[in-house]
Amino acid sequence: MAIENNLAQLRLKRGFTAIKLAREIGVSRQTIYAMETGTYVPNTLLALKLAKVLEVTVEDLFRLEAAEAPKHTESVELLPGDQDPQPGLPVQLCDVDERLVAVLPTPTAWSLPPADAVLIEAGKRSGRGRVQLFQEEKQYRMRLMIAGCDPGISVLLRHLQREGVEAVVAYRNSSQSLNLLKDSLVHIAGTHLTDEATGESNLPAVRKYFPKGSVAVISYAIWEEGIVIARGNPKNIKSIADMGRKDVTIINREPGAGSRMLLDSHLQKAGVTPKSVKGYQQIATGHLPAAWQVKNGSADCCMATKTAACVFGLDFVPLTSERYDLVIRTKNLSHPGVQILLDTLGRTAFRRELEGLGGYDTRTAGNRLV
């Protein structure tokens, strides 16, 4: 049975930094972060020390989650397609003449993208342009604009739509997303940037971008990130060090991406220079585009989330668990769409669907960290 963890929220509420709390109870700063992410469960003595310092009960900090309801299964007809059926692949269901049919995911989008207008003028340097609208109604004025790289954001969009909230997603890496929020071009920025010195997720980066009190940081999920490899691991890739082999080709992420930073950090620790890695300069802009290059055989491996591996039926070597957070300007917290989004993060239906994709832990979803 899993344990619910409120340590991060209570630490921040009491005004403790991770370093200060670690000093008070006699552990390392890394141990505090490990407890907050759920990768380390403290013993009784540590739990009592934490409760005393934070002036709460142990039950306020840690408690057993309620037992989950039994998972419901159904027999389905698999719709033939290009994708090989593999356990773990997400599917859509539809009743057709009293037969439950399951559709496997399409690796690439073959339909036209949704659009409200067509671009007719574009300033190459000004960042301004002009569009021709398809309709006079201006529904877009009520939408949310979200920037981020999370492959599972589509789950959130579906749940928001059921509540009457439309959202537009700009798929950008973590650094780009924070810059867009800084320039007030989006309502919400998703980020997974781990501070190399402290091991803390996102908060150090957010402090560099925004003045104190100007933004709220909301936990979205804890996800697994690591090496995505071909099914069956034909190249026997077991660690970052294998990327230095001459027979291994990678597909990298663009500068500023959290996955690229993670790769660079692990390459340095393994004593592997980037110039010795075949494919280091080849770029895919996103977790799913990178995993697709592994799926179609253009690369042997890439750095991405476990979810990206699951979508394409690929294998995965875990390297780290990290928090993916949503950063929102404080002034936009009262936006009706943002309010519904925050409520959605705490709902069981949303959490169950996101975790079902593989690689997500939603226990902290919706918790305000700053």
Kindly indicate the confidence band of residue 225, based on its pLDDT and cuts at 50, 70 and 90.
very high
pLDDT at 33: 79
pLDDT at 1 over 60: no
pLDDT at 108: 67
pLDDT at 191: 97
d(CA 366, CA 341): 9
Question: Which CA distances in Å does 311 have to 11, 84, 87, 102?
Answer: 36, 11, 10, 15
Q: What is the pTM of this model?
A: 0.79
d(CA 369, CA 11): 9
- Tell me which range, 62-66, 81-85, 146-150, is most confidently predicted by mean pLDDT: 146-150
CB atoms within 10 A of CB 331: 10
Residue 178: which of 198, 149, 153 has the closest Cα? 149
Residues 230-249 have pLDDT tens digits of 999 999 999 999 999 999 99
For tokens 């505090």, the residue is 32
Residue 153: which of 11, 363, 360, 368 has the closest Cα? 360
pLDDT at 150: 94
The answer to whether 23 touches 53, Cβ cutoff 8 Å, is no
Residues 305-328 have pLDDT tens digits of 999 999 899 999 999 999 999 999
Average pLDDT, the chain: 89
d(CA 142, CA 138): 8
